[in-house]
Structure 1
Amino acid sequence: MDMISLISMLAAVAATLISTAVWQTTQRLEKRNLFLQLNERLMQPRLQEGRTLLRELIIDKTAADNLYSSNDRRDHWLISESIAMFDLLGLYVERKYVDEKLVLEEWGSQIALTYKRHGKPFLESRAAYLGWTPYPHYEKLGELALLDERRRGRNAETGE
């Protein structure tokens, strides 16, 4: 092999390594930016209100059934919207569009607390009414958050 061939081969290897490093950095930045966008969305007052209503109004499946059958469904739709956003977050975690560890670090306690005591009865009520289970990614994310909370020695019942 002559010197020109060797230099060409080394240049090609270097270009490949640089391209790979740039691609990895870009992927990491895109994941971070997507997480920041989701975080901003989750912090919107409407979604915060929906999560608050979920914790305050849904204590069991009967409460969820009653809320849906009431004449004023505003609270129900706010709760549904907040759960739908957690469902989307769960889908993004499953597809690895966002980092699972980062999501659980930032939102795990909130998800675990709302899911176990309030989200599950809401989902059971909706499934009974619809005949199918809505928000499957929220369920998976909720269970994942509960496991993470236990692993960290936290009580998902009280948030402590």
Structure 2
Amino acid sequence: MSWLTNNKDVVGIGLALIGLLVTAYTVRLARSAQRRDGFMRIHEALLAPDVQEGRRLLFGIGSLDDVPAGDSREHQLINRSLAMYDTLGYYVRQHHIDRRAALDVWHHSLREVTSPARVFCDARKSARGSGSHPFPDLEWLLAEASSYRARRDCCTAATPTASPTIGSVPNKRTHD
């Protein structure tokens, strides 16, 4: 007991350091959970039926002649889908969600919409007489996705293979 009495300052400092470490760990866990929740919310929003329909319409754009009129429902759906991608880009840039998680899930889709999105944005800028990009974080996200390599078969296979269809994935069970 005399050691504790003689070293109470050291013990106090040690306990304070343990408290700081526990606090830092708790803050880190909370931040990680917030980023994961943010990703899930934007992911769900990107899977909303109207956003998916906007992406499908976007895939049909090859030239300025393919861009729907600005007051059409199709134009609004495409605009909404690009706005959601822009929001995803903003969240990733601001570190509100994890870059790797976002790009692991969305890099193929982002690559596929790059050309049509640029045509659509050019048409939108031209119609509004504005030289600024309507979706600045989308442009950044498209650039990130263009060079992103996921740690999945889609990006790590030595030779490209056809994507398996649902039901063609081998059964990993070794016994019945």
Which category describes the TM-score, using the shorter chain as reference length?
Answer: 0.7 to 0.9
**Deviations, residues 42-90 of structure 1 (Å, cap 9, x unaligned):** 111110000001112x1112322xx125xx6100000000000000000
**Deviations, residues 100-135 of structure 1 (Å, cap 9, x unaligned):** 1111100110011112x3111001111122213200
Q: 1:82 to 1:21 in 2, by over 3 A?
A: same
- The structure with the greater share of residues assigned to helix is 1
Q: Give % identity.
A: 25
Instruction: Report what 2:6 is aligned to.
Output: 2
> How far apart in 2 are the matches of 1:149 and 1:128?
34
Please tell me whether residue 83 in structure 1 is matched to residue 100 in structure 2. Answer: no
Instruction: Report what 2:109 is aligned to.
Output: 110
Instruction: Report what 2:69 is aligned to.
Output: 68
Partner SS, residue 82 of structure 1: helix
Q: Choose the corresponding residue for 1:18, options 19, 22, 26.
A: 22
Unaligned runs of 5+ residues in structure 2 are 164-176
Please tell me whether residue 52 in structure 1 is matched to residue 56 in structure 2. Answer: yes
Give the structure with higher Rg (CA): 2
Instruction: Report what 1:137 is aligned to.
Output: 137
> How far apart in 2 are the matches of 1:85 and 1:137?
10
C-alpha RMSD over aligned residues: 2.3
Partner SS, residue 148 of structure 2: helix
Number of residues of Structure 1 aligned to a counterpart in Structure 2: 150
After alignment, is 136-145 or 126-135 more displaced? Answer: 126-135
- Runs of 4 or more, structure 1, over 4 Å off, are none
Unaligned runs of 5+ residues in structure 1 are none
| Higher RCO structure (Cα 8 Å, ≥6 apart) | 1
Q: TM-score, normalised by structure 2?
A: 0.78
Q: TM-score, normalised by structure 1?
A: 0.86
